[in-house]
């Protein structure tokens, strides 16, 4: 299917882009890498009369460290993040970026675009929630920083106002005894995940001090459970404790049955992925070099 008629705009800088968004309001959509928006336009999801292309704006694709925070420009591509030496210090970031779709999509798609779509099956909302990331937003009223937990409010819905653009994602750098992992189960490399899990652990003398558990594709937004995390805090992490926490957080999920699998199948997969991601993060906390990636059917 072809997209409905629309007008194309290519602003020279960020203020010009924001001015266009203020002018057109809800009739406008921002185009970054186009790997999410263009397919949605072809499916005619939503009324899009004005397309504002920010993909070539300067200064929005840098990856740098500022004040113990990894700052990723919204236009940084998945491929750039996967290859970044700075991002390598946060393994879940690299695992999420390197496993998105195929090489072409990773070379064109951006973290800001993928996050702003807020697809419940997307990798970035789940991964970044587990890493306690924040999102920097710029609009006509100025700049604001929003925790990732407040940024995605529902499936395909964020807190962005009609005249706002995501400019940066900020991820706290982990301490020496903290590490992470992200794993998704996919039917094929180019497919969206059937389900996914992000884990970040902080250990002290082999005892869990802090933990983040997040499930993806398990509801309209990323699924978290304070109860499941409390089961691990103050305890030694092993397969048994991870499995118990997995059962608790999966019980709080509501994965939709679809062409990728039934709800029962997805819950079973989520339990195994929590254990797998948890064991991978645990090994990294102990200083072990562990390679990871997605699981495929």
Name the DSSP class of 109: -
Q: Are residues 101 and 34 in the same domain?
A: no
| CATH code of the domain covering residue 47 | 3.30.43.10
- Does 164 fall in a domain? yes
Q: Do 103 and 160 have their domain in common? A: yes
Q: What is the CATH number of the domain that holds 75?
A: 3.30.465.10
Quote the CA–CA distance of 18 and 7 in Å, as a whole number: 16
Residue 224 lies in a domain: yes
203 within some domain:
yes
Determine the pLDDT at residue 1: 67
* Domain extent for 191: 178-296
pLDDT at res. 39: 79
Q: Is 32 in the same domain as 88?
A: no
Which of 139, 172, 205 is at the close of a domain? 172
Q: 49 and 70 share a domain?
A: no
Nearest to 99 by CA among 293, 274, 292, 280: 293
Does a structural domain hold residue 2?
A: no
Question: Residue 216: exposed, middle, or buried by beta-carbon count in 10 A (0-12, 13-18, 19+)?
Answer: buried
Q: What is the pLDDT along the chain (297 residues), one digit of tens a residue?
A: 678 888 999 999 999 999 999 999 999 999 998 888 887 888 787 778 899 999 999 999 999 999 999 999 999 999 999 999 999 999 999 999 999 998 999 999 999 999 999 999 999 999 999 999 999 999 999 999 999 999 999 999 999 999 999 999 999 999 989 999 999 999 887 888 999 999 999 999 889 999 999 999 999 999 999 999 999 999 999 999 999 999 999 999 999 999 999 999 999 999 999 999 999 999 999 999 898 888 887
* 222 belongs to a structural domain: yes
Do 183 and 279 reside in the same domain of the chain? Answer: yes
The pLDDT of residue 4 is 83
Are 31 and 77 found together in one domain?
A: no
Q: Domain check: are 201 and 256 in the same one?
A: yes
Task: Give yes or no: residues 182 and 290 share one domain.
Answer: yes
Give the tokens for residue 150. 């407040």
Asked whether residue 219 is domain-assigned, the answer is yes
pLDDT on residue 270: 98
In a domain, 108, yes or no: yes
Q: Are residues 168 and 216 in the same domain?
A: no
Which stretches within the chain are classed as H helix? Answer: 14-24, 37-42, 78-83, 91-98, 103-108, 111-117, 123-130, 148-151, 226-232, 239-251, 263-285
Q: Specify the CATH number for the domain of residue 289.
A: 3.30.390.50
- Whether residue 113 is found in the same domain as residue 43: no
Task: Please identify, among 172, 202, 232, the residue that sits at the C-terminal boundary of a domain.
Answer: 172
191 and 165 in one domain? no
52 in Cβ contact with 29 (< 8 Å): yes
Angle at 192 between CA 187 and CA 198, to 5 degrees: 100
Closest CA to 213 of 146, 294, 90, 126: 126
Domain count, the chain: 3
- Looking at the structure, tell me whether residues 222 and 250 fall in a common domain: yes
Task: Specify if 1 maps to a domain.
Answer: no
């Amino acid at each position: 299917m072809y997209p409905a008629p629309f007008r194309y705009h290519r602003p020279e800088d960020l203020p010009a882009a924001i001015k266009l968004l203020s002018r057109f309001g809800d009739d406008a959509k921002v185009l970054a890498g186009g790997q999410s928006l263009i397919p949605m336009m072809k499916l005619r999801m939503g009324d899009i009369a004005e397309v504002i292309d920010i993909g070539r704006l300067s200064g929005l694709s840098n990856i740098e460290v500022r004040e113990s925070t990894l700052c990723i420009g919204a236009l940084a591509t998945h491929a750039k993040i996967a290859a970044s030496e700075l991002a390598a210090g946060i393994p879940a970031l690299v695992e999420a970026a390197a496993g998105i779709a195929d090489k072409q999509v990773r070379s064109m798609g951006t973290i800001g675009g993928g996050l702003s779509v807020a697809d419940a099956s997307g990798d970035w909302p789940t991964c970044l929630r587990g890493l306690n990331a924040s999102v920097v937003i710029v609009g006509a009223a100025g700049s604001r920083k929003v925790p990732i937990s407040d940024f995605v409010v529902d499936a395909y819905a964020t807190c962005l106002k009609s005249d706002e653009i995501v400019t940066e994602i900020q991820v706290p750098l982990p301490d020496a005894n903290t590490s992470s992992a992200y794993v998704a189960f996919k039917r094929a490399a180019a497919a969206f995940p059937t389900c996914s899990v992000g884990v970040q652990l902080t250990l002290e003398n082999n005892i869990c001090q802090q933990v983040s558990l997040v499930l993806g594709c398990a509801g309209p937004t990323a699924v978290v459970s304070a109860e499941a995390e409390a089961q691990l805090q103050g305890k030694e992490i092993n397969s048994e404790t991870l499995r118990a926490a997995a059962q608790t957080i999966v019980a709080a999920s509501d994965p939709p049955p679809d062409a990728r699998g039934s709800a029962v199948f997805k819950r079973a997969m989520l339990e195994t992925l929590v254990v797998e991601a948890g064991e991978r993060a645990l090994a990294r906390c102990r200083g072990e070099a562990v390679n990871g990636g997605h699981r495929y059917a």
